[in-house]
Amino acid sequence: MIERQGLRIAAISYDSQEVLQNFALKYQIGFPLLSDRDSAVIRSFGILNTNIAAGLRAHGVPHPVEYLIAEDGKVVRKYFVPNYQHRVTASAVVLREFGVASDDAQVVTLRSGALTVEVGLSSAKAFAGQELGFFAKFNLEAGWHVYGAPLPEAYTTTSVSFDSPQIVRQFFDLPSAVPLADGVLKETLPVYVGSFRGVGSLLLRFPLDEGETILSGHVRFQQCSETICEAPEALPFKLRLKLEPFMDATRSMKVRASQSQGESA
């Protein structure tokens, strides 16, 4: 789904070309896996993991960082999770950069008064420890608004948040709100009107049991017109996510390779 957006993908590790070739064959990897055998490129990026002493197997590995790089070679955005057990999903990248979610990802529609909100995940499935994307598309009937930030304490900023224990960390960004002078309260406050859309990310705990799971959360807002202000609301939602079984990819590959050579693993 990355390539469909005109974006190429490439991975760099300190593995030998032979290891990468076996890995690409076994997992049908269609993009370049680059071999930085002496970690020279990893060093040139300044991301060598220096915590790992010479002599240890992992000596020479990088801190896991993903860069979105423009055609001119400049960094557009960095994706990283400061924990080696966590990774950002391709679907989260595609959702943030191109606004496209997987076709099979569930979308729920919430309605209250003049507001309709569609909430969905970037993908229908993920591994424990991955960072997924999510989006919320808001649509307000004419004459109504909800609030952005910053706001005085008495008002409710529009937000989407998950409260499931499977989630370690989350972010949600909305576009900048537009200032609106309130005729009744004589205040100018940041608001959203019409249709707008926010994108967020959520980091899944590691480890988690495989199988179907439910991620739940709330959309919070307060809808007002020029004459009426409704009470603040919190609409609950639930989204299905399939947690994939953890694959110890490389171990099974090594076992197979050594079996075919008649050696013991």
Partner 1 sequence: MANDIPEDIAEKAAIMREFGRLRAAGEPVPTELQAKHVNATNDRYATGPEPGERIPDFSLPDQEGRQRSVANLTGPNGLLLVFHRSADW
**Residues in region 239-258 near partner 1 by CB under 8 A:** 249-251, 254
Q: Does 12 bind partner 1 (CB under 8 A)?
A: yes
Neighbours of 139 (CB within 10 A): 15
Range in contact with partner 1 (rule: CB under 8 A) among 35-43, 101-109, 150-158, 209-217: 35-43
Q: How far is the CB of 238 from partner 1 (least distance, A)?
A: 30
Give whichever of 80 and 246 is closer to partner 1, judged by the CB atom.
80
How many whole angstroms from its chain centre is CA 61? 24
d(CA 222, CA 219): 10
Per CB under 8 A, the list member of 1, 43, 114, 161 interacting with partner 1 is: 43
Residue (7 or 108) nearer to partner 1, CB:
7
Residue 159, classed as helix, strand or coil, is strand
Q: What residues from 55 to 74 belong to the interface with partner 1 (CB under 8 A)?
A: 55-58, 61-74
Q: Is 173 in the site for partner 1 (CB under 8 A)?
A: no
**Rg of the chain (C-alpha set):** 23
Give yes or no for residue 165 binding partner 1 (CB under 8 A). no
By three-state DSSP, how is residue 245 classified? Answer: coil
Rounded Cα gap, residues 88 and 131, in angstroms: 4
- Angstrom CA distances, 265 to 111, 256, 259, 262, stand at 57, 9, 7, 9
How many chain residues touch partner 1 (CB under 8 A)? 71
Cβ–Cβ under 8 Å, residues 102 and 115: no
Binding mask 83-122 vs partner 1 (x if CB under 8 A, - otherwise)?
A: xxx----x--x-----------------------------
Restricted to residues 188-247, the positions that interact with partner 1 (CB under 8 A) are none
Does 168 interact with partner 1 (rule: CB under 8 A)?
Answer: no
Q: Does 82 bind partner 1 (CB under 8 A)?
A: yes
First to last CA, the chain: 36
Q: Report the C-alpha gap between 253 and 259 in whole angstroms.
A: 10
